[in-house]
Structures are given as C-alpha cells and as structure tokens.
C-alpha cells in the first residue's frame, strides 16, 4: 500500500479485512473507487439519500452510508430522507463525518471550519465529532478521534458517549486537511452584512447556532440575489446540485429515483437525546428553528415584533373570558375535551423542554446577536413571523397568527434545554404586547376585554350591513347556529346535525368526526404547530408541511408517462394528463369554452364576471330564465354570484308555490349548495333550487338572496346558512 490515505481507508472501511492484497488486485482500486464515489457525491450524481441535519441538507449514497455506519445503515434501508438528531450531530460535524466516510480522512478543525463555512472558532470540536461518530456508530471515526484527542492530551475517556462532546475542548489546530467536498445546501448566517455569530463554547450546539439558516441561501445555487446574499467566504455551497428553488426544471432537482411519500414525514416522536438504540425516526420538525429571515424580509423589514420583548415570563394566566364571544381565546384554553395544544405538542414534538429548546434557536436570528441561550429574550427584527413577512400573502392567516405564537414564546433569557415551557397549555399572544385580548377573525389585539367587545361589535355591525340585522344578531349570539353550509347541521334534530354533529365553537362549522373537527380548529389557532425545518414556515397541518418540504427537496414522486414531467402531487399529475389526452371536461356555460382544468375555468369565469350586472342581464336575456344555455350570441356574460342572483330572482318570480317543509327544503338547499362548487352544476341546479325556495314561500328577493348566498357559500368560506333564509 503506497498511499497513506488508502491505508486509512482500508482500516476504516468494511474492507479492513481485505488488507492482504494479492497480485491480482489493483493496489489503488479501493482508493480510486472511493474517490469516484466522493466525486459523484459532490456532484449529487446517483445520490439516493438526503440527510437533513437541522437546517442543512446533505446528499449521499445509501450504499456508502450503510457500509460505513451501522446506524445509518439501519436508516437508509427504510428511508430516502434521513433526519439526524441535531443534538447528537450538528451540520458542521456531520459534514466532517460525511467527508470522513467518503475519504477516510478527518479534516483538521480550522480547515474543516472553513470548509463548513462556519466562523473561525465555531468549528466543530473533535469531541463533537467523536460524539457524533459514536452516535452514528462509525467505529473507525471514533477510533480516529480518540487517537487524535490522545495525541493532544484532550481525550479523557468519554463515558456514556453521545453527550455532545461537551467535555472536549474545541479542536482547532490548523493543518493539512481536506478540501471540503461535502455537498450540502449550505446554511449561512442570517445577516448578509453582519458579522458571523461569536464563537460558542457549547458544542455541539455551537455550530448549530452559528449556522443560522438563511432561506435564500438554501437556494443559493446560482448567481441570483439569493446567492448574492451568501458572502463568498461563507462558501454557501451549491455543490450537491440540489436545486431547491421554487421552480425546478424537470429532472434538475429530482432525485435519481422518485422518493416515496413516506420519505418525508418522519414522526417527531423520539426525544432528542435518544441514542441510536432508542432512535426510531428522526424528527423532522424538532430542530431548533431560528426564525429565518426570508429574503423578502430583508427587502422590506417588518417592524419588530412588539411582543417578543415582553419578558417572556409565564405571566398571568391568560384570561379565559368565559363570558366573551366563544370565538375568543379558544386557542388559549386548555380544554380537556379537546386535544390541548400542549398535549398535542408533547405528543408530536416531544417534551415541553424540547419545545422550548426548539425555540431556543430564535435568538440566533438577530443579526450579530447573542448565540443560543445568551443575552436577553430575542426580539424579531426580521422574523419571518413578523407582520407582513409572509411573502405569499395568504401564507399566514394573519399577522397575529404568525407573530403571536401562543405556544412558543421565548422563556426569559433564551431557551435552555429543560426550561419549562409555560405557554404550552395556555399560550400567550406574545405578538400583541399588552393587547392580550385578540379577535380571532381579524387578528387584532386589545388591552382589555371591553375594548375587544367593542371591536367585536364592529364585526357585528359589518355582519348587519352584509346580511341584515337579524342575521347579524344571530351570528353575534354565536352558537349553536352559526354560518355556512354547516349551519344546516346546526338545526337541532336536523339531518345536517346528524350527519355532522361535531361543531367548531369558533366558526360553527361542523364535521362528521371529531378528528376532522380538531384539524379544523387548528385553523383558528394563532400559531401553526408544524414548522418547516428548512425555511421555518409554519403550517396548521402536518401533511401540508410535509408537502411543502417536498418543494424544498425537489421531491416529485409522480411522473407523467407521456412526457416525463414530474409532480409533487398525484392530483397535479392527473390534471396534467389531460393535456396529453386532450380531455377538457370543464365547460363554460356562458361561452362554451372548454378547459382541461377547473381552476382555469374559474379564472375564465372571472373574466366573464368583468361584465358585471350588465353581463348578467345580457346572459339572462339569452338564458330565457333557464340555466345552462348561452346567450343568443353564445358569448353572453354571466358572473357569479350576480348571475346566480339574477337567475334566482327570475325563477322565484315565476314560481308561486306553497310553503314546504322547512327541514326538507333546508336539506335540499344544503345538498344543492354542496354541488355549487362547479359553476356548471350550480347553474343546472339553479332552477330547482329557486323552485324550492319559492316553495318555501320566500319573496323573490329573499329567494334570490338564498341562492346568491348559496352560491357564495359554496364558493367561499363566509357563506350564510339555510336556516337564516328560511321562512320567518
């Protein structure tokens, strides 16, 4: 063996038992093979597994990992996406580990730090590497680390290993090392202009705290502004070729083979300190989440979160407001009958201390601010949670919903592991400062219940203006009979109630089963329990979050057989296939235009709606009072819901039927409005619908209102209900 590296390789790999090379074996074969594998890794070629370590992504080959680490071997068998416990191995440390796996070398600290694009002094300690190697069950790396530590007199017999290597001094001796080859979607400091975070003495959390992810840098694979945010010396590496950009060209960001659905949502059900033995599935949503300053935030930084600095103490128990409107503070209650937030978080994310620890990453967001666990409670100058931070507008229910992380405020002095999270059970509207009384519909906070009540009154007035005083008063009175189609279910003893007995106390929607109700109730929470570990975006449903993660990872499991285009969702593929089949099942009842996608028909219908009432009148002239027939020119314009309204008026005028059973009519209306999602069906349903409303004895205007609201109900979330328009 002429290559010292090869010697290490042979000692470190599973080929250690093959050191006796016979004359028939090429002496450099092992080394060349490993070099090729490493080269492929740097290019992302044939990489079939993604390893997520906190907020860094690594690509690698399953075979190589399995051949190097018993622990990784156990993981790659089942998953294409591994999520390593960030408490056990930080991104910087894993970079070194991965480099070792692929090269047999352990880079020296300083160079490794540079390679890892972390600040000098923040490089992972050899102890941390040792701990990670123990955790990952890489005996050769463990031995190598111990050897080096002994050489430097710093090895003191790690007992119970895997403690994060806190007992070791940082190993920062400069020297010959390896070129950083680890392909990783490199994380960098959040502040492009600010200095890197100060070095920390808390391995392995130090490197983690220092690699505060910048969402833009996650996409730093090109010369765009996002990449520009990465200072060159940071070496935000696009090496892996993983294009996480929003729009990845077909194939560019797709793994070599499609990843199955199950690859994405590992259950965060294992404690962070669990070693490999206890390790089940890596938590996807567990790592500390530094509030990630999106690029958009830097373009227009939102005002600081006024609530973050409110001390973060558990504070007084939030007012329960039992006398207030039911929609208020539901998110703060610890209702035994429901899945409390704290309980849910405990189930889904681990212990309360873990939750606090998760938020412990928050301070790092402050540019140049103190590292994890140091300094005052963080404010969020550039928090993605800040008002207006959501670049997509509807990404967040409201500013308060995102800023007011009722269950995840910062404990005073930062978040230390084990610090009790006092807000898990009750939450705290931290983003509202002293305005603890929050109106859920609009997200505004008020300092007193009186002011909140006054504000709610304003909502009532709005309701009155929209729907009439009686209805508004009914709405203001709250349950049991609220709004929407679900109100049908609210009628005591009605069919709807039997079908959908589980009612939301906040909005009166009702559901068939309690699980769906709980799921729905999350939409009323001011915070979202499922954050994306890559960008920090939060979601109300885990499935939405995992689906979102797919976009980050470029996972598109659904491929079109015709053109090879891939999609993240089955539904998209189904939609797409109509392009090839030429099927256009969606037809405009106004102009006869056909569309392959329903959404494009809806968009098209909006174009018709531009004509407004005049268009509706024209359409009605052509319709002759019957739905589904285009105007004389075939291009008549009919808008929704104005057109529905007008049609209903005509039909109601033409009908003079006696009143029918209220419940039966309500059921019919509910069924009909249920199908109004499709404008075509809506139109076809109008005639019988109006007929029956007239049978109820409604005035033409009232019948028209019913139908209009019915159509509106089907199209939007704020529809009224049948009972409200029932004969009085």
Range 616-636 burial, b when 16+ CB lie within 10 A, else e: bbbbbebbeeebbbbbeeebb
Residue 483 C-beta: closest distance to DNA, Å? 12
- According to DSSP, the residues that pair with 530 across neighbouring strands are 539
Residue 584 C-beta: closest distance to DNA, Å? 7
d(CA 497, CA 475): 18
**With binding defined as CB under 7 A, does residue 620 bind DNA?**
no
Which residue, 686, 592, 603, is CA-closest to 630?
592
Q: Which stretch binds DNA (CB under 7 A): 13-21, 67-75, 573-581, 619-627?
A: 573-581
**With binding defined as CB under 7 A, does residue 344 bind DNA?**
no
Among 261, 344, 417, 684, binds DNA (CB under 7 A): 261
Among 677, 688, 699, 701, binds DNA (CB under 7 A): 677
d(CA 483, CA 473): 12
d(CA 648, CA 702): 9
Among 168, 426, 567, 687, binds DNA (CB under 7 A): 567
**With binding defined as CB under 7 A, does residue 78 bind DNA?**
no
Q: Which helix (H) or strand (E) holds 49?
A: strand 49-53
Q: From the CA atom positions of the chain, what is the Rg in Å?
A: 30
Among 232, 316, 393, 493, binds DNA (CB under 7 A): 393
**With binding defined as CB under 7 A, does residue 398 bind DNA?**
no
**With binding defined as CB under 7 A, does residue 63 bind DNA?**
no
**With binding defined as CB under 7 A, does residue 339 bind DNA?**
no
Identify which of residues 84 and 713 has a Cβ nearer to DNA in the complex. Answer: 713
**With binding defined as CB under 7 A, does residue 595 bind DNA?**
yes
Residue 440 C-beta: closest distance to DNA, Å? 12
Residue 389 C-beta: closest distance to DNA, Å? 13
**With binding defined as CB under 7 A, does residue 680 bind DNA?**
no
Residue 579 C-beta: closest distance to DNA, Å? 4
**With binding defined as CB under 7 A, does residue 280 bind DNA?**
no
Residue 128: CB partners within 8 Å, gap ≥ 6? 90, 93, 164, 165, 168, 203, 204, 207
For residue 525, the 8-state DSSP code is S
For residue 178, the 8-state DSSP code is P
d(CA 269, CA 320): 31
Residue 479's CB is within 10 A of a number of other CB atoms, namely 15
- Strands (E) in 123-274, as ranges, are 184-185
Name which of residues 491 to 530 contact DNA (CB under 7 A). 500, 509, 511-512, 515-516, 519-520, 523, 528
Total residues contacting DNA by CB under 7 A comes to: 65
DSSP line for 401-466: HHH--TT-PPPTTS--TT---TTTTT---GGGTT--EE-TTT--EESSHHHHHHHHHHHHHHHHHH
**With binding defined as CB under 7 A, does residue 539 bind DNA?**
yes
Task: Take residue 196 and report the two structure tokens written for it.
Answer: 């890197």
**With binding defined as CB under 7 A, does residue 347 bind DNA?**
no
**With binding defined as CB under 7 A, does residue 351 bind DNA?**
no
Chain mean position to CA 488:
33
Range 495-504 burial, b when 16+ CB lie within 10 A, else e: bbbeebebbb
The region, left, alpha or beta by phi > 0 then psi within -120 to 50, assigned to residue 319 is beta
Residue 35 C-beta: closest distance to DNA, Å? 35
Residue 600 C-beta: closest distance to DNA, Å? 5
Task: Take residue 567 and report the two structure tokens written for it.
Answer: 């999609």
Q: Are 322 and 378 in contact (CB under 8 A)?
A: no
**With binding defined as CB under 7 A, does residue 559 bind DNA?**
no
> Angle formed by the axes of helices 469-476 and 449-467, to 10°?
140
**With binding defined as CB under 7 A, does residue 53 bind DNA?**
no
**With binding defined as CB under 7 A, does residue 399 bind DNA?**
no
**With binding defined as CB under 7 A, does residue 396 bind DNA?**
yes
Identify which of residues 116 and 240 has a Cβ nearer to DNA in the complex. Answer: 240
Q: Are 384 and 297 in contact (CB under 8 A)?
A: yes
**With binding defined as CB under 7 A, does residue 270 bind DNA?**
no
Q: Are 711 and 643 in contact (CB under 8 A)?
A: no
Identify which of residues 343 and 417 has a Cβ nearer to DNA in the complex. Answer: 343
Output the CA angle 308-314-319, nearest 5 degrees: 95
Among 63, 598, 660, 671, binds DNA (CB under 7 A): 598
**With binding defined as CB under 7 A, does residue 587 bind DNA?**
no
Among 120, 543, 592, 688, binds DNA (CB under 7 A): 543
**With binding defined as CB under 7 A, does residue 182 bind DNA?**
no
Among 604, 637, 712, 720, binds DNA (CB under 7 A): 604
Identify which of residues 479 and 593 has a Cβ nearer to DNA in the complex. Answer: 593
**With binding defined as CB under 7 A, does residue 224 bind DNA?**
no
**With binding defined as CB under 7 A, does residue 442 bind DNA?**
no
**With binding defined as CB under 7 A, does residue 634 bind DNA?**
no
Residue 183 C-beta: closest distance to DNA, Å? 21
- Which stretches of the chain bind DNA, using CB under 7 A? 246-247, 261-262, 264-265, 267, 392-397, 500, 509, 511-512, 515-516, 519-520, 523, 528, 537, 539-544, 546-548, 550-551, 565, 567-572, 574-576, 578-579, 591, 593-600, 602-604, 607, 610, 677-678, 715, 717
């Amino acid at each position: 063996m002429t290559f010292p590296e090869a010697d290490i390789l042979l000692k470190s790999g599973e080929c250690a038992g093959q050191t006796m090379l016979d004359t028939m074996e090429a002496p450099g074969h092992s080394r060349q093979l490993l070099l090729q594998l490493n080269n492929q890794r740097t290019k992302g070629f044939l990489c079939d597994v993604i390893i997520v370590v906190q907020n860094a992504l690594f690509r690698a080959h399953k075979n190589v990992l399995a051949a190097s680490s018993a622990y990784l071997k156990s993981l790659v068998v089942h998953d294409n996406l591994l999520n390593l416990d960030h408490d056990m191995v930080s991104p910087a440390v894993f970079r070194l580990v991965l480099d070792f796996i692929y090269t047999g070398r352990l880079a020296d600290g300083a160079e490794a730090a540079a390679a890892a694009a972390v600040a000098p002094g923040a490089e992972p300690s050899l102890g941390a590497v040792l701990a990670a190697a123990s955790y990952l069950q890489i005996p050769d790396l463990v031995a190598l680390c111990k050897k080096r530590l002994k050489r430097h007199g710093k090895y003191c017999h790690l007992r119970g290993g895997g403690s994060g290597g806190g007992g070791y001094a940082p190993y920062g001796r400069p020297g010959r090392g390896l070129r950083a080859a680890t392909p990783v979607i490199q994380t960098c400091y959040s502040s492009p202009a600010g200095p890197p975070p100060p070095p920390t003495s808390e391995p392995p959390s130090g490197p983690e705290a220092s690699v505060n992810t910048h969402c833009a840098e996650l996409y730093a694979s090109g010369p765009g502004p996002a990449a520009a945010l990465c200072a060159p010396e940071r070496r935000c590496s696009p090496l892996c070729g993983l294009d996480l950009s929003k729009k990845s060209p077909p194939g560019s960001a797709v793994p070599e083979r499609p990843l199955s659905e199950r690859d994405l949502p590992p259950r965060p059900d294992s404690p962070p300190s669990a070693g490999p033995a206890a390790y089940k599935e890596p938590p996807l949503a567990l790592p500390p989440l530094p509030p990630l300053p999106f690029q958009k935030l830097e373009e227009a930084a939102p005002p600081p979160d006024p609530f973050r600095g409110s001390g973060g103490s558990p504070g007084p128990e939030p007012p329960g407001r039992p006398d207030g409107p039911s929609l208020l503070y539901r998110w703060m209650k610890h209702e035994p009958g429901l899945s409390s937030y704290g309980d849910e978080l405990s189930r889904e994310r681990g212990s309360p201390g873990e939750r606090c620890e998760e938020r412990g990453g928050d301070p790092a967001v402050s540019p140049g601010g103190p590292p994890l666990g140091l300094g005052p409670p963080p404010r969020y100058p550039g928090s993605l949670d800040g008002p207006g931070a959501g670049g997509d507008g509807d990404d967040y229910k409201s500013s308060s919903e995102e800023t007011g992380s009722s269950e995840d405020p910062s404990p005073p002095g930062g978040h230390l592991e084990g610090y009790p999270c006092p807000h898990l059970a009750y939450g705290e509207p931290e983003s509202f400062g002293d305005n603890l009384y929050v109106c859920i519909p609009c997200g505004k906070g008020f300092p007193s219940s009186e002011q909140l009540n006054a504000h709610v009154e304003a909502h009532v007035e709005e309701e009155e203006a929209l729907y009439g005083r009686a209805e508004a008063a009914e709405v203001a009175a709250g349950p049991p009979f609220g709004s929407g189609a679900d109100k049908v279910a609210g009628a005591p003893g009605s069919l709807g109630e039997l079908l959908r007995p589980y009612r939301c106390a906040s909005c009166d929607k009702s559901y068939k089963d309690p699980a769906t109700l709980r799921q729905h109730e999350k939409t009323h929470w001011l915070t979202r329990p499922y954050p994306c570990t890559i960008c920090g975006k939060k979601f109300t449903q885990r499935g939405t979050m995992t689906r979102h993660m797919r976009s980050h990872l470029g996972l598109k499991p659904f491929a079109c057989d015709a053109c090879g285009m891939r999609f993240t969702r089955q539904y998209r593929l189904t939609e797409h296939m109509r392009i090839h089949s030429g099927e256009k099942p969606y037809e405009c009842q106004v102009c006869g235009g056909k569309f392959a996608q329903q959404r494009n028909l809806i968009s098209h219908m909006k174009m018709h709606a531009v004509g407004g009432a005049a268009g509706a009148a024209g359409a009605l002239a052509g319709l002759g009072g019957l739905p589904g027939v285009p105007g004389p020119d075939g291009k008549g314009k009919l808008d929704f819901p104005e057109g529905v309204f007008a049609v209903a008026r005509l039909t109601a005028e033409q009908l003079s039927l006696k009143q029918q059973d209220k419940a039966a009519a309500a059921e019919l209306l509910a069924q009909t409005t249920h199908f109004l999602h499709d404008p075509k069906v809506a139109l076809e349903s109008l005639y019988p619908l109006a007929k029956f409303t007239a049978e109820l004895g409604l005035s033409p205007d009232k019948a028209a209102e019913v139908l209009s609201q019915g159509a509106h109900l089907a199209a939007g979330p704020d529809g009224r209900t049948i009972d409200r328009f029932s004969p009085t």
